A and B are shown apart, each in its own frame.
Chain A
Amino acid sequence: MREYLQEISALTMRWVRRLSREKFSMLFTLVQPMLFWLIFFGNLFQRAADTQVVQAPTYISFLAAGVVVMTVLNNGLAGGVDLLFDKENGFLERLMSTPIHRTSVILSRFLFVMTITSLQVLVILGVAFLFGVRPATGFLGVAVILLIGLLFGVGLTAISMALAFSVKSHGDFFSVLGFLSLPMIFLSSALVPLSAMPAWMSLLARFNPMTWAIDAVRPLILSGWAAALGPVAMVVVIMVAFDALCLYGSAKAFRRAMG
């Protein structure tokens, strides 16, 4: 157990160290593009968006939940990238030739990605706060938002790692990611409520895990516990199943790649 902790903390610190060495990427990790979505879209569509349709006092308060979950999506889907590079340059092989538990490298990655994601979510909620968005469920609500983010993020990161272990080249990896991420965003309730979508889009969006996560986060911000409890309970159950499925798939991909 002591050995396990020693290796996990060393591997996790490596990711932290790498991030701190890449000054630019560090900056852009904190001031991420998602923040621009919130600020620019939020203010840009303030007049264009009908508060009657979005059912929120301001468009930015409606958008906040979407941006939170989009951040989780982007971080999760990109979570495997560094492992892909490690696999390609042989560093992963070096790590795996040491007497570490076979799951340690992966676990360290989860820890790191989840920590960064949680920090970013807090930054987003903080910025939204500056634009007058006060989460209706208070600090406890924010904690629940982080929990939903973690549950969704684990599954996404698992998908990303599975992809990293299975692809032949990193070109493939980035094409698949690019292909996945935009439709996931537009075919969800991130930017517009399902009721305002064309029928075929809202049908597709209903099957998107993004939508479930957003529909639980949004009432936590906009409405209060009474409206939020139902969707939150449901999304927790669904996400646990989603995570189990993704983790199973990524464990299989990992075992295949590592002989």
Chain B
Amino acid sequence: MMGRAVAIDVSKLGKVYDGVTAVQDLSFQVYAGEIFGLLGPNGAGKSTTLRVLITLLRPTTGQATVLGHDVVREAEAVRRLIGYVPQERAIDRFLTGREHLLLLGDLYHLPKDESCRRIAELLKLVDLEGKADLPAKTYSGGMKRKLDIACGLLPNPKILFLDEPTLGLDVQSRLRIWEYIRRLRERGITVVMTTNYLDEADQLCDRLAIIDEGRIKALGSPSELKTALGGDTLSLTVGEADMGRVELLASALKGLPAIRAISTRPTGLEIRVESPEKALPAVLEAAGRLACRLEFIEYHRPRLDDVFVAHTGHAIRSEFPEAEE
């Protein structure tokens, strides 16, 4: 990680919308060639951060540079280097897919033949060749999303900004889009994306910032973040009749060498442990001694969910893609 080229540098960034503070004191860097994620629940300030970086919003405080250009003073230069895929499906229902791309080709001032060449290439990349000449109102949600992504790629950007690229898509389409995004990284494009899906952040992003209530709560690669939590998790589900003894069990376990932290859950206990070999026998022994019947024992390495909860104090709200409206 050391010495990598910095593509985006954000320092003490804040944005207030007439009295409402959307983000404050954000500082982070995005390295060239990585997939960087902003992970957070609805209203966390992800889109706001992105809009500042693509020069559509002026920050209230702090500053940001994209490939060395200040997003306020050198907005024009920034716009020439980036591509953007908005969160809403920014599609004109009456235009065909190809017409969208041709329009954008002119807005990026591409010569006609260059524009047509790239459009053919992109339509192939996102599998829309067959539908390219139908009006966008006949497209499904996933197809619109693909067109969106093709639009973002048309300028051949150094950095692509994607706002919730898979929101509301079915599982297959999500996997396809993850695949495209990885391919972009192979082509050397830096990707900055927002998401409120933990699995997406975990599997797709090289590094991520967890953002909640307008602030960054944690920053690092998914595996760094998980390791930093320290230890694996042991979840005990206690028989309903024995729930009265959970507190007793917790205090019996507290302070044992292999056990790091214990928290009570409605169905039992969640224990952060150093190593399963040492912890498991001790837990079983204590439960047996207290006659506390364990219905179910689950052991897992830390997941991004645990990281999220540890840093924000609450679970991210939506873990599963909602159905397309």
Contact = CB atoms under 8 A, between A and B. Distances in A.
Contact of B103 (A14, A86, A93, A259): A14
A93 B89 contact: no
21 contacts: A6-B109, A10-B106, A10-B107, A14-B95, A14-B99, A14-B103, A18-B92, A18-B95, A86-B92, A90-B87, A91-B91, A94-B90, A94-B151, A96-B56, A97-B55, A97-B79, A99-B76, A99-B80, A100-B107, A259-B57, A259-B58
Contacts of B91: 89, 91
Interface in B97-120: 99, 102-104, 106-109
A89 B94 CA distance: 13
B95 A98 contact: no
Contacts of B104: 98
A90 B107 CA distance: 16
* 10 pairs of A and B residues whose beta carbons are closest in the complex: A10-B106, A90-B88, A90-B90, A98-B107, A99-B79, A21-B94, A94-B90, A97-B84, A259-B57, A3-B109
Nearest to A22: B94
A234 interface: no
B75 to A, nearest CB: 9
Interface in A1-50: 3, 6-7, 9-11, 14, 17-18, 21-22
A107 interface: no
A241 interface: no
A258 interface: yes
A95 interface: yes
A93 B56 contact: yes
B144 to A, nearest CB: 11
Nearest to A101: B76
Contact of A6 (B55, B84, B106, B151): B106
Nearest to A94: B90
Interface of A: 3, 6-7, 9-11, 14, 17-18, 21-22, 86, 89-91, 93-100, 258-259
B94 A18 contact: yes
B54 interface: yes
A99 B109 contact: yes
Nearest to A97: B84
B46 to A, nearest CB: 15
Contacts of B99: 14, 17
Given A93-B51, A93-B90, A97-B54, 12 more contacts: A6-B106, A7-B109, A9-B106, A10-B106, A11-B103, A21-B94, A22-B94, A91-B92, A96-B56, A98-B155, A99-B108, A258-B56
Contacts of B95: 14, 17-18, 21
Contacts of A22: 94
Given A17-B94, A18-B94, A21-B94, A89 B58 contact: no
B86 interface: yes
B135 interface: yes
Interface of B: 51, 54-58, 76, 79-80, 82, 84, 86-92, 94-95, 99, 102-104, 106-109, 135, 151, 155
Contacts, number: 74
A249 B104 CA distance: 29
B140 to A, nearest CB: 17
Nearest to A10: B106
Nearest to A21: B94
Contacts of A94: 84, 86, 90, 151
Contacts of B135: 21
A99 B157 CA distance: 12
A14 B100 CA distance: 9
A99 B81 CA distance: 9
Contacts of B92: 14, 18, 86, 91
Nearest to A93: B86
A86 B90 CA distance: 8
Given A10-B103, A18-B94, A99-B80, A259 B56 contact: yes
A89 B108 contact: no
B54, B87, B103, B108: most-surrounded residue (chain A CB, <10 A): B103
Contacts of B86: 90, 93-94, 97
A22 B92 CA distance: 12
Contacts of A259: 51, 56-58
Nearest to A18: B94
B213 to A, nearest CB: 22
Contacts of B108: 98-99
A100 B87 CA distance: 21
A239 to B, nearest CB: 32
A97 B107 CA distance: 10
Given A6-B106, A96-B56, A91 B90 contact: yes
Contacts of A21: 94-95, 135
Contacts of B84: 94, 97
A98 B79 contact: yes
Contacts of B51: 93, 259
Contacts of B151: 94
Contacts of B109: 3, 6-7, 99
Nearest to B112: A6
A94 B149 CA distance: 12
Contacts of B90: 89-91, 93-94
B88 A95 contact: no
Given A7-B106, A10-B106, A90 B89 contact: yes
